[in-house]
Amino acid sequence: GAVVSQHPSRVICKSGTSVKIECRSLDFQATTMFWYRQFPKQSLMLMATSNEGSKATYEQGVEKDKFLINHASLTLSTLTVTSAHPEDSSFYICSASKQGNGYTFGSGTRLTVV
């Protein structure tokens, strides 16, 4: 199967600090990973597409300097929320596709900024 591991599952941080979320494909190589944000009782909103070895492609309205994405290897992409504010509190989910048929999602990270 295709397994995507996301860490941490929950994080609480203070306003102004930065938080890094990791997304790993455990049993396959992923040249492309996707980062989503989900507000309570809402759908997933694509934030950016993470491309191995190159810059991420951000969706309109997503601040690239605030949400730093690094895809340094074929099995790891990281999302860093910089200078976090309470409005950044949300559920962040990554996904990757093994063969382009279906997408495997991480279990998500619930970020709370206090």
Partner 1 sequence: SQQGEEDPQALSIQEGENATMNCSYKTSINNLQWYRQNSGRGLVHLILIRSNEREKHSGRLRVSLDTSKKSSSLLITASRAADTASYFCATVANSGGYQKVTFGTGTKLQVIP
Q: Which two tokens stand for residue 61?
A: 């309205």
54 is an interface residue for partner 1 by CB under 8 A: no
Q: Walk across the sheet containing 19-25 and list its strands.
A: 4-7, 19-25, 76-81, 67-73
Exactly one of 14, 43, 54, 87 binds partner 1 (CB under 8 A); that residue is: 43
The SS3 assignment for 86 reads helix
- With beta carbons less than 8 A apart as the criterion, state whether 65 and 72 touch: no
11 is an interface residue for partner 1 by CB under 8 A: no
Q: Which two tokens stand for residue 82?
A: 């910089």
Exactly one of 25, 75, 77, 95 binds partner 1 (CB under 8 A); that residue is: 95
Exactly one of 11, 20, 49, 62 binds partner 1 (CB under 8 A); that residue is: 49
34 is an interface residue for partner 1 by CB under 8 A: yes
Rounded Cα distance, 104 and 34, in Å? 10
Shortest distance, position 93 Cβ to partner 1, whole Å: 6
91 is an interface residue for partner 1 by CB under 8 A: yes
Please identify, using beta-carbon distances, which residue of 18 and 42 lies nearer to partner 1.
42
- With beta carbons less than 8 A apart as the criterion, state whether 24 and 5 touch: yes
Q: Could you list the residues that contact partner 1 (CB under 8 A)?
A: 6, 32, 34, 36, 42-46, 49, 51, 57, 91, 93, 95, 97, 100-108, 110
